[in-house]
A and B are shown apart, each in its own frame.
Chain A
Amino acid sequence: MSIQVDNIHTISLHVANKPGVLLRITLMFARRGYNIESLVVSSALDGKFSRMTITAQGAPETLDQIIRQANKLIDVVHASEHNDEEAIAKEMVLIKVKLSKTNKNEILQVIDHFKAQSVDLTQKSAIIQAVGDSDRIDALIDMLKDYGIIETVRSGKLVMARGDQST
């Protein structure tokens, strides 16, 4: 298992869609000193199961244990870590940015450059939607900071294993 140097780990879990499963998983991360950075939970193709993608920060030597302990939970079907080489990782962001007559065009250019979309436009603000790698989203937010960001909401990372591998 490869370990990322920045100690941010992306773990995907395939779990039975039953009450309490999220509670048990988050308790385990907390107990082992892992801080959850993002967490995405949604129903899997079959409604009996759910998919979770968790990015968490913590000591790499503990990660193997956390994954084993996650797999040990009764309702967890499968848990594994993924890195960028073997999996696709994307996230989505909504950014509400201040608009004025003078900067409107500039902002639209930035949106265009990042292949983002404006999904809500008023005289005073726009909501920009972007999907992509996390660092690209970081860059977009950075660019827009100069114009005045009102708020952002990020989905957290979604991960899927490449090719024949299952997530």
Chain B
Amino acid sequence: MTKKQTNGAEALIQGLEKHGVEYIFGYPGGAAIPIFDAIYDSSIKLILTRHEQGAIHMADGYARATGKTGVVLVTSGPGATNTVTGILTAQMDSIPLVILTGQTITSALGKDAFQEADVFGGTAPFVKHSYLVKEPNDIPRIVKESFYLAATGRPGTVLIDLPKDITSAPCEATHEEAEMDLPGYSFPDKGKAVDIKAAADILNNAKRPLLLVGHGTLISKANKEVLQLAELLQTPVTTTLMGKGAFPENHELSVGMLGMHGTAYANRCVSNCDVIFSIGSRWDDRITPAKIEKFCPTAKKLHLDIDKAEINKVVMPDVSILGDAKTCLKELLPLIKSSEATKPWLKQVNQWKKKYPLNYKVHGGLKAQQVLDELYQITKGEAIITTDVGQHQMWAAQFCKTHNPDQWISSGGAGTMGFGFPSALGAQLGKPEETVVAVVGDGGFQMTLFELSTAAINKLPVKILIIDNKFLGMVRQWQELFYDDRLSGVDMVGNPDFVKLGESYGVKGFRIKRPADIKRTLEKALAYDGPCIIHAEVIKEDNVFPMIPAGATTDDMIIEPPKKKLAKPKGST
């Protein structure tokens, strides 16, 4: 008996198996049927979602929780375009994803065939790289290149558009013989010794240093090196929203998150430091003012990044190190002298911590902050927290301190509503032993709640904590503070009964109505062995503070609710 001829789709799936893919998150359609057919005989588990956006956020959450590359499979046309938000979300946060899209047959390309879309062209601005496969024998090479590109250097998204005739045609090329052909691709690893020495000299002479730790630290797994550096230098450490977990937020040197809704003491550190050292952060506009010359004007700025295009993009650093964070910090650490010189600075930082603690009033109704604070206390900072986008995200960032890497999963760059819940499902699949809590708002949850089916069918015991204030709270906050309280398009009137909604999918529900319910209900829900909704009906009109209006400097931070009307911010959003 002769061996059956392998077709393009089978070669593709075999390639995924060789790259250790456990799960494909997907949704079928005509142009992708050959690929779904190939999955039938494979060891890879298909997670059928209820929408392509759900699939890609799940793959994204899986990638963030495990560090592995997430894989998405959808059909052509609308199937592919439904992933675009997710591609942007992952690409903005440097998440390794491989997106497989079915496509109409090659002879029909460009002729407005049924479910045809120019996915290669349409997604070009949002991907690290992409392919439109025209020859089945290219598949093994393209799969190899895609996984390499997605995961190395600055990780990102790689899309492979697969016409149906190509996936159906015989493929003779093998994965063993496939050779990558990427003459234009390289990434730095070791930094230049001269740059590392220059950075060490500045750090050794700093009186008021500050480490600014971003997501690059987590990608590079450099958290131990950052900890060593911080303890040697005796310097406060602030993390970006995406960097949460790169430095334990319960460490005495941690000042928590900086920026627009960061802690007041982190932002005071930014205003007053004499050296700021960014490790894998990109000086994003949530943490730097529109007029960049006003950003820690008297501090020397050091920037360590693997992406050359980030150097000089926002801040012109005094010293830049181009390379992998872990490798470069290992070179840097022996050059650092432990010093007593920062003692007065740490004393000052501790005074700010005492003066401006993150707090909330426990009376006057149920507060989101208290719910999240108690969630943190009960989970002891050991749960994986995913969030949606808005007020609840900022409160979660403030009150759910992150102790370990890969336990904070949030859409930072893109700010994608609807991300929190499906990403939690992906994280739970990747980390079945861990507690995963999706902290979502009533607005964002309704954008992707249809994945309740996926949670129930796959018995993913994700805890969905809905912070329900019946408003799109962050926009309402802006309208209250900057637009004369002219509330426009923010009222979530018509919200469903979330507990009953969950029940209809077979997902258990819990309700938190009063502060006294919080602890007991959270404990019950966390102990429940299955997916559940925890519906927390919080007060409707609360605001996130501290707040730095968009584009303003850390000196313009609003710590307490303002008594007078504020000018409209000049920054973007």
Please report A residues at the B interface, Cβ cutoff 8 Å: 15-16, 19-20, 23-24, 27, 31, 48-49, 64-65, 68-69, 71-78
Contacts and interface: CB of A to CB of B under 8 A. Distances in A.
Contact of A72 (B120, B125, B130, B308): B308
Given A20-B120, A73-B184, A68 B309 contact: yes
Contact of A71 (B130, B134, B182, B308): B308
B312 interface: yes
Given A20-B132, A65-B312, A75 B124 contact: no
A74 B120 contact: no
B216 to A, nearest CB: 15
Given A27-B124, A74-B129, A16 B184 contact: yes
Given A65-B309, A65-B312, A19 B125 contact: no
Contacts of B129: 74
Interface string B123-145: 01100111010100000000000
Contact of A69 (B182, B184, B309): B309
Given A23-B124, A24-B124, A74-B129, A16 B183 contact: yes
Interface of B: 120-121, 124-125, 128-130, 132, 134, 149, 181-185, 307-309, 311-313
Nearest to A19: B132
Contact of B308 (A24, A31, A68): A68
A153 B560 CA distance: 65
A124 to B, nearest CB: 40
Contact of A74 (B121, B182, B307, B312): B182
B143 to A, nearest CB: 15
Contacts of A74: 128-129, 149, 182, 184-185
Contact of B125 (A27, A65, A71): A27
Contacts of A27: 124-125
A77 B184 contact: yes
Given A72-B307, A74-B129, A15 B184 contact: yes
15 contacts: A16-B182, A20-B121, A23-B124, A27-B125, A31-B125, A65-B309, A65-B312, A68-B309, A68-B311, A68-B313, A71-B308, A72-B307, A74-B129, A74-B184, A74-B185
Contacts of B132: 19-20
Among A15, A65, A74, A76, the one with the most B-chain Cβ atoms within 10 Å of its Cβ is A74
Q: Most A CB atoms within 10 A — which of B149, B184, B313?
A: B184
A24 B132 CA distance: 14
Nearest to A48: B183
Contacts of B307: 72
A62 to B, nearest CB: 10
- Which of A27, A68, A69 neighbours the largest number of chain B CB atoms within 10 Å of its CB? A68
B183 A72 contact: no
Nearest to B187: A72
A27 B123 CA distance: 11
A20 B125 CA distance: 12
Contacts of A15: 184
Nearest to A24: B124
Contacts of A16: 181-184
A77 B130 CA distance: 17
Nearest to B125: A27
B184 A76 contact: yes
A75 B184 contact: yes
A19 B129 CA distance: 12
Contacts of B134: 19
A24 B182 CA distance: 16
A15 B185 CA distance: 11
Contacts of B128: 74
Contacts of A24: 124
Q: Which 7 A-B pairs have the closest CB atoms?
A: A68-B309, A77-B184, A74-B129, A72-B309, A76-B184, A69-B309, A74-B185
